Amino acid sequence: MLATTHLFNGGSKVPLMSIQSTKNIESCLVLIVDDDHLSSTLVANILNNLCRSFTASSAADAIEFCENKLPDLLVVDVNMPDINGLELCRQLKARNDTADIPVIFITADLGKDAQVDCWEAGGNDFVTKPVVAQTIVHRVRNQLLSKLRLDALRKLSYEDSLTGLYNRNYLNEEYPRLSRQLMRNHQPLGLIIFDVDYFKQYNDIYGHLKGDICLEKVSAVLKRYTRRARDAVVRYGGEEFIMLLPNTGLSGTREIANQILTDIYQLEIAHKHSPFERVTLSAGAVSIQNIERYPLNDVIEQADINLYDAKLKGKNKVVTG
């Protein structure tokens, strides 16, 4: 937890009417970054009836915050010690996980060059000091509305309709960006491919409706293990799932896979044609260093070989390599 972070909960609702969106403005998270605690508290109080507001007192704290929970919008003071607001914005725009977060700058400089600097750093808008309450509420609302509409469109493109997990479109587009970022940071990628054991028999016995319910339950367990901003689970095939675990070595990847298999086992979803008499998963796991050198298909193929091994060894197992 950041000692400099404070929560201000909104009171009144500002509904959003957008394409298939299940989120509204009041549930959006806005991070206010300013080394002046009084100024950031003032802005947070102004936004109190619009959205959820957090504050951070430095660029370093803001980056740490974003690594733990992605905000929907940043309101950033340009003039801060050490790393100023412009450089913070550049760093966030260079990261795959934070590149799409809109940024509103707060600046005391009204000059043309200062405005150009804000745009060139990647800012989406700016307000000038002293902050006018109605102006910043209007600017924040507009940015959040745009963000929610974009998120809704992405959801339609990247989300599996049954499970709510990501689909193959997301995997194919995300992997190149993710691999480049991991390569820059010299970090490995953990990847696990899961398969529901004896799922054809489950559908044959209990019917496809019960099969869908089973997949939803499995997906809910998998989703619980995407605890960091860049973690992701993809429904890869009918009963196959892929989990991406950036910056996770083989031992950590194996541990997560084993925990998931245990959790699925403990759900006790009855399956009378399984030797375990319940639904189970098998998993193949890998962790790849220098990930940019490996095409996605090669990484999945290696994990799939391990999954096949797990199946041969009796299922309800994790095989790593």
For 78-109, write each residue's pLDDT tens digit.
Answer: 999 989 999 999 999 988 788 889 999 998 88
Confidence tier at 17 by pLDDT (50, 70, 90): very low
Q: Is 2 among the domain residues?
A: no
For residues 23 and 149, state if they share a domain: yes
pLDDT-wise least confident of 204-213, 227-236, 264-273: 227-236
For residues 23 and 129, state if they share a domain: yes
184 in Cβ contact with 178 (< 8 Å): no
Q: Is 175 among the domain residues?
A: yes
CATH number (domain holding residue 218): 3.30.70.270
Task: For residue 239, indicate whether it is catalytic.
Answer: yes
Q: Is 114 among the domain residues?
A: yes
pLDDT value, residue 200 = 96
For residues 135 and 210, state if they share a domain: no
59 in Cβ contact with 87 (< 8 Å): yes
For residues 102 and 194, state if they share a domain: no
Picking from 125, 158, 191, the residue at the C-terminal end of a domain is 158
For 156-187, write each residue's pLDDT tens digit.
Answer: 788 898 999 999 999 998 898 889 888 888 99
The better pLDDT of the pair 97, 125 is held by 125
Q: Is 272 among the domain residues?
A: yes
Q: Is 163 among the domain residues?
A: no
Distance CA 76, CA 37 (A): 13
Specify the number of domains making up the chain. Answer: 2
Is the pLDDT score of 14 beyond 70?
Answer: no
Residue 27, CA distances (Å) to 35, 49, 67, 313 in order: 25, 11, 19, 47
pLDDT value, residue 10 = 38
pLDDT value, residue 292 = 81
Q: Which amino acid is at 7?
A: L
| Mean pLDDT in residue range 298-317 | 97
Residue 89's domain comprises 7-158
Picking from 114, 133, 158, the residue at the C-terminal end of a domain is 158
Is the pLDDT score of 206 beyond 60?
Answer: yes
Average pLDDT, the chain: 89
pLDDT value, residue 18 = 32
Residues 6+ apart with CB under 8 A from 258: 318
Residues 6+ apart with CB under 8 A from 101: 66, 70, 71, 72, 73, 74, 92
- Which has the closest alpha carbon to 76: 30, 27, 33? 33
Q: Which residue among the candidates 26, 216, 239, 240 is catalytic per the annotation?
A: 239
29 in Cβ contact with 55 (< 8 Å): no
Confidence tier at 227 by pLDDT (50, 70, 90): confident
Maximum Cα interatomic distance, the chain, rounded to a whole number of Å: 73
The residues facing 75 across adjacent strands are 32, 104
Sheet holding 318-320, edge to edge: 232-235, 240-246, 189-196, 281-288, 318-320
For residues 225 and 268, state if they share a domain: yes
SS3 21: coil
For residues 23 and 151, state if they share a domain: yes
Q: Is 102 among the domain residues?
A: yes
CA angle 61, 66, 71 (to 5 degrees): 120
Write the DSSP symbol of residue 253: H
Residues 6+ apart with CB under 8 A from 246: 178, 181, 182, 187, 189, 190, 228, 230, 231
For residues 172 and 151, state if they share a domain: no
The residues facing 241 across adjacent strands are 194, 235
Distance CA 65, CA 124 (A): 20
For residues 146 and 78, state if they share a domain: yes
What percent of the chain is modeled with pLDDT above 70? Answer: 93
Q: Is 216 among the domain residues?
A: yes
For residues 179 and 146, state if they share a domain: no
User: 81-105 burial, b for 16+ CB within 10 Å, e for fewer?
Assistant: eebbbbebbebbeebbbbeebbbbb
Confidence tier at 247 by pLDDT (50, 70, 90): very high
Q: How many CA atoms within 13 Å lie on the side-chain side of 237?
A: 9
Q: Cis omega (within 30 of 0) on the bond before 295?
A: no
Picking from 134, 158, 182, the residue at the C-terminal end of a domain is 158
For the chain, the distance separating the N- and C-terminal CA atoms, rounded to the nearest angstrom, is: 35
Q: Is 212 among the domain residues?
A: yes
CATH number (domain holding residue 109): 3.40.50.2300
pLDDT value, residue 22 = 55
Distance CA 279, CA 215 (A): 10
For residues 138 and 189, state if they share a domain: no
Q: Which phi-psi region, left, alpha or beta, contains residue 19 (left: φ > 0; alpha: ψ -120 to 50)? A: beta
For residues 144 and 213, state if they share a domain: no
For residues 151 and 287, state if they share a domain: no
